[in-house]
Structure 1
């Protein structure tokens, strides 16, 4: 049995400025995306300036979409009662599925601005995202949030700020699944030319599949609990369209190359 290490959420204080671990994770995510994007920029027909623009637009879309998605997917009733909660970013709350929609909106804007086919941009940006997802989950772990369900497995972890039960360290499961395995899978798959949306489809299928499975180990949101069939969580429900669309994009017949 393990004990949560109770890590200080503040990495370092520089005078009155407090640098939080979670903020560092965002920086690492965007820096890794920029580095990986530049590695493949020339081969994909993009300039480094365009990559920088795309990463910036994607980052804005991820943050705005993540916040809006959290409110609309997880706090909608509270939002209807008090719309100002959308602006209370200091209270926390981000949604991957909302962030994904925000990134897609940013990709559409970028494609129109530079007059590039949408599928080319989406299939280019998809492989450079999973590392950011992984470090984000590490940030969740350091912050002691999004813990797992009770377990009797030997690596069960007690989160003292929650209770005295050994729980799945589900944040670390997701860090490995999203940040290591999914990245490796999509990055290697995208190394060769693929038909349009194949790379994006593999990402949707891979993320949606692992998220659906890991939700069985992750504690459901207390205010929502199960949202369907007395066992399905909101995260699983939101992942079903990803899985379906991912399967379609991977297996469909197309002659359009990415």
Structure 2
């Protein structure tokens, strides 16, 4: 176990009287704004109205937050069962899960696309690069909060790898005198690499839906292994929930790709206008 000594970074971005604006929220907002900009830019090329994604986010953001909270509380119910009940809604105290947010956003997208008469797969494909980039940026919010980290760094791991990381990362991962694996960094880099691959796949002009399904496969594959390193996993019957969801997402995505590529399946391609 590698011991360390460091002063953590200030979690507060801006103090306005009694109101604190935290780096976590700022970083999440930057990731979301950049993702939205990219989606709007691409949607114009793909024949969608420029306001489609703005209209979608009006419903998707609150739905994703609520779903993320429900997901988290359902796995941590023993901490809320004895009340007070209002704690269930206390998101400001922490406790949301990205898989819950994704489930809420996908369900919202399905309903939104049916109402607006827009192809769900088209919307999802355009959103895929924005999603994974926003997730990659958002993990730095976890960095500022000193959360979503892995177990303690061993002497061998420090000598072979961790010591070469920038000092500001290792300093922030030094918590109560113990240096922890920066799993937030591992996932952030994995997501950014996935974003770059998705940008290349746009040129390949895959079958519609496969951009989004690749995103699910790529993110879930990396998350499965990174989750195994984390110390704050949600657990169900002794199994890490994120790993269960990751495996399920990969299997479902592969099955959908196979079905949509069966002989006779008239699946449009990513760049098709209709």
How far the C-alpha of 1:220 sits from its partner, in A, is 4.2
Mapped pair 1:187 → 2:195: no
Q: Quick one: distance in 2 between partners of 1:151 and 1:126?
A: 33
Runs of at least 5 residues in structure 2 that lack an aligned partner in the other structure: 164-169
**Aligned match of 2:14:** 12
1:179-230 per-residue CA deviation (whole Å, 9 max, x = no partner) reads x112112232134432132112101110110001112322244x84x844xx
Structure-2 change in CA distance of 1:165 and 1:57 (3 Å): same
Q: Quick one: distance in 1 between partners of 2:9 and 2:44?
A: 41
Q: Out of 192-201 and 205-214, give the one that drifted further.
A: 192-201
**Aligned match of 1:211:** 223
**Aligned match of 1:31:** 33
Q: 1:200 aligns with which of 212, 217, 225?
A: 212
Mapped pair 1:174 → 2:176: no
Q: Quick one: distance in 2 between partners of 1:39 and 1:58?
A: 19
**Are 2:149 and 2:183, in contact at CA under 8 Å, matched by a contact in 1?**
yes
Instruction: Map 1:225-240 to 2 at 5 A.
Output: 227-228=237-238, 232-240=239-247
How far the C-alpha of 1:5 sits from its partner, in A, is 5.1
Q: Quick one: distance in 1 between partners of 2:10 and 2:145?
A: 8
Q: Quick one: distance in 2 between partners of 1:69 and 1:29?
A: 22
Q: Quick one: distance in 2 between partners of 1:57 and 1:192?
A: 31
Where in structure 1 do 4 or more consecutive aligned residues deviate above 4 Å? Answer: 1-5, 79-83, 156-160
Mapped pair 1:105 → 2:117: no
Q: Return the TM-score normalized by structure 2.
A: 0.81
Q: Quick one: distance in 1 between partners of 2:143 and 2:5?
A: 12
1:58-114 per-residue CA deviation (whole Å, 9 max, x = no partner) reads 322322221121112x21344555454321112211111100011112212220221
How far the C-alpha of 1:31 sits from its partner, in A, is 0.7
**Are 2:174 and 2:180, in contact at CA under 8 Å, matched by a contact in 1?**
no
Q: Quick one: distance in 2 between partners of 1:49 and 1:59?
A: 15
Structure-2 change in CA distance of 1:29 and 1:123 (3 Å): same
Q: Secondary structure at 1:47's aligned position in 2?
A: coil
Q: Secondary structure at 2:95's aligned position in 1?
A: coil
Structure-2 change in CA distance of 1:241 and 1:129 (3 Å): same
Q: 1:137 aligns with which of 133, 136, 139?
A: 139
Q: Quick one: distance in 2 between partners of 1:220 and 1:15?
A: 33
**Aligned match of 1:248:** 255
Q: RMSD of aligned C-alpha atoms?
A: 2.4
Runs of at least 5 residues in structure 1 that lack an aligned partner in the other structure: none
Q: Quick one: distance in 2 between partners of 1:242 and 1:13?
A: 41
Q: 2:97 aligns with which of 73, 95, 98?
A: 95
Q: Out of 243-252 and 203-212, give the one that drifted further.
A: 243-252
Q: Out of 78-87 and 25-34, give the one that drifted further.
A: 78-87
Q: Return the TM-score normalized by structure 1.
A: 0.86
- Matched length: 250
1:153-175 per-residue CA deviation (whole Å, 9 max, x = no partner) reads 121747454x4333211111111
Structure possessing the higher radius of gyration over alpha carbons: 2
**Aligned match of 2:166:** none
Instruction: Map 1:156-167 to 2 at 5 A.
Output: 157=170, 159-161=173-175, 163-167=176-180
